[in-house]
Structure 1
């Protein structure tokens, strides 16, 4: 769009005028959804994600008055704006004056970028192992660049084109943004294909597909697993799967099976059930769930059936939930 405006070719395609703004809002929405899905391990859209898509839709509606104008008006209007670049920020052919539209658009870009950076840094801090930090370098880079681009564009609104070529600056920043997005995955393929497991050694023979972990590896994984169960609540949902924890640890599903067996001498389901029972015991100790039925308690922590809950509880404590409640009452 910037190229078409600079070269004047936009006059030949007047219907493309103002399409850049809805696309930018769409970009902001998809960017936030992507970051949230990565750092929060989301597998399906949430209500907030749907609301974000209202931004480009609202932007399109904002420009309906211009799109309804005849070809002659559009052509003359665009020609005037090209000849008087500063006027583009003060055009009034839309429902909302262009200046306020650009101001909101760039401010929103700054806010979204800051939120993304905060979310990514929070995850990096949680995952203390350096091997895992590299996964988020790409996201950090494009988030920072997006912050700088929107911040520069926001500030440029207060200058005229004679002192600051705002269109060119925006074009250069956007070009750099695109280059980083598409070039970094060539150096870090795991951005596209998933995290690469830090394999220390492959053993041959019938166990050739197993990864051998050294003690430091296991200690790091255990710390991250415990952090997950202490800070997250997704494992208390009935649809929590082994893939969810594997993605959090940035390892493959089969490696997670090995790790849980080595660290806890349990399979994945046994480990998750034990952690769920820990939550139940804490709630019982605080007298929060003592009046709940067994079905109610089992649903609260993600068990699909009362029978499975009772079995897991007895394996952990040696007695049934009903006996335990009587004991502490």
Structure 2
């Protein structure tokens, strides 16, 4: 491992440095890079908070997407510090984003794979994908422990000669090697992402509207990453020493992150899981009906028997649960049972709430028709949507609760007659 020199700025270097600062186009590109970098960091931080805290259904997929976005956002934060010159005030942030770049690609790939394969928990082998990031962090640790003065000296030289950054060797490998490795590894991962998405659509050529939205998002996510990393690879082969090129690359990366994040905000079903909000509304209305009217506690046996007959006849003949937008209010209007009486009857007779009863009927419907010809070309997720489930997670949880197994296992042990 080579030593990092502690170099002072000579008058000649200072002249070049101030000439660069006076270059109008350079100042403009620097300003744009700073604005986009910090914007990407702020918006990325909001997305991460939503994924890990605001979103009520925190899943393994959410975790992986949060890791990918955080790594991207932190890279933009440090890039913004460098482009603005603020890094000289906080030099210990220098190079801290480098290991995170190794995290972006595997996290993105695992996220896509998890969404498509419906994985629900972390696997030990998944950790192997992050080995390069761990190795890079370990080799940079001695540099992280160096003094602020040493890092400031290095940064001042980099501001004059940006290519000096790639020539440095703070660890076992020069930074230029790491730049190539990060980009090549990223493109390999993103190519596999694209491949498994295409395989999924080929296998499930009939997709419902929810699946189409998911595939559209994954396609957009993957293609944006491929485009960004392809431009980075081209820049590494150009060997252009212009400082504006480095600002341009920062703009490209920040723009990629912002486009991905804005797309997420425009797809609340992916970001917030709004597909289940109607179920939350049903539950809220049911709780309200129970807590605001005590008359539901004084139903006679004859009333309960009558209401049960109406409920079961309605659900078995009309099958309203197949409509994903079906609500408690719909049943109230169709059966002419008051809301608080309906809620009390369901709780008393079936020992569950409205959502539980409706999902039970949906699961039973799937069990009876899982080998139906009209469903032969649908994935298990598609079958769930056909039965009225709005989200994959609710479908899987409800099915396992009723049968003690996943839909795929149920179909395997119950072959078509």
TM-score range, shorter chain: 0.5 to 0.7
Structure 1, unmatched stretches of 5+, are 230-241, 258-265, 279-315, 318-329
> Are the equivalent residues in 1 in contact too, given 2:228–2:253 (CA < 8 A)?
yes
> Are the equivalent residues in 2 in contact too, given 1:63–1:93 (CA < 8 A)?
yes
How far residue 64 of structure 1 moved from its aligned partner, in angstroms, is 2.4
Aligned counterpart in structure 2 of residue 83 of structure 1, from 160, 167, 180: 160
Partner residue, 1:147:
226
User: Within 5 A, what are the aligned runs for 1:274-313?
Assistant: 275-276=412-413, 278=415
Partner residue, 2:377:
223
How far residue 85 of structure 1 moved from its aligned partner, in angstroms, is 0.6
When the two chains are superposed, the root-mean-square deviation of aligned CA atoms in Å is 4.1
Deviations 1:133-187 (A, max 9, x none): 2212222212111111111111211223456844223322222222233222333
Structure 2, unmatched stretches of 5+, are 1-77, 277-321, 336-341, 343-353, 366-371
How far residue 52 of structure 1 moved from its aligned partner, in angstroms, is 1.9
> Larger Rg: 1 or 2?
2
How far residue 54 of structure 1 moved from its aligned partner, in angstroms, is 2.4
Q: Distance in 2 between matches of 1:5 and 1:269?
A: 50
How far residue 125 of structure 1 moved from its aligned partner, in angstroms, is 2.8
Aligned counterpart in structure 2 of residue 14 of structure 1, from 49, 70, 91: 91
> Are the equivalent residues in 2 in contact too, given 1:32–1:112 (CA < 8 A)?
yes
Q: Distance in 1 between matches of 2:325 and 2:395?
A: 18
Q: Distance in 2 between matches of 1:275 and 1:129?
A: 22
> Are the equivalent residues in 2 in contact too, given 1:224–1:249 (CA < 8 A)?
no
Q: Distance in 2 between matches of 1:54 and 1:63?
A: 14
Q: Distance in 2 between matches of 1:223 and 1:143?
A: 26
Query: TM-score by structure 1 length?
Result: 0.64
How far residue 191 of structure 1 moved from its aligned partner, in angstroms, is 1.0
State the secondary structure of the residue aligned to 1:129. coil
> Are the equivalent residues in 1 in contact too, given 2:102–2:182 (CA < 8 A)?
yes
> Are the equivalent residues in 2 in contact too, given 1:149–1:170 (CA < 8 A)?
no
Partner residue, 1:327:
none
How far residue 124 of structure 1 moved from its aligned partner, in angstroms, is 2.6
Task: Tell me: CA distance 1:247–1:67, structure 2 relative to 1, closer, same or farther (3 Å).
Answer: farther
Partner residue, 2:126:
49
Aligned counterpart in structure 1 of residue 107 of structure 2, from 27, 30, 34: 30
Aligned counterpart in structure 2 of residue 119 of structure 1, from 196, 200, 220: 196
How far residue 21 of structure 1 moved from its aligned partner, in angstroms, is 1.1
1:159 is aligned to 2:301: no
Query: TM-score by structure 2 length?
Result: 0.51
1:253 is aligned to 2:395: yes
Aligned residues: 255
How far residue 28 of structure 1 moved from its aligned partner, in angstroms, is 2.5
Deviates most, 37-46 or 53-62? 53-62
> Are the equivalent residues in 2 in contact too, given 1:135–1:190 (CA < 8 A)?
no
Partner residue, 1:172:
251
Partner residue, 1:68:
145
Q: Distance in 1 between matches of 2:373 and 2:126?
A: 36
Q: Distance in 2 between matches of 1:76 and 1:269?
A: 60
Partner residue, 2:284:
none
> Are the equivalent residues in 1 in contact too, given 2:79–2:250 (CA < 8 A)?
yes
More helix by share: 2
Deviations 1:102-126 (A, max 9, x none): 1001111111111111112222333
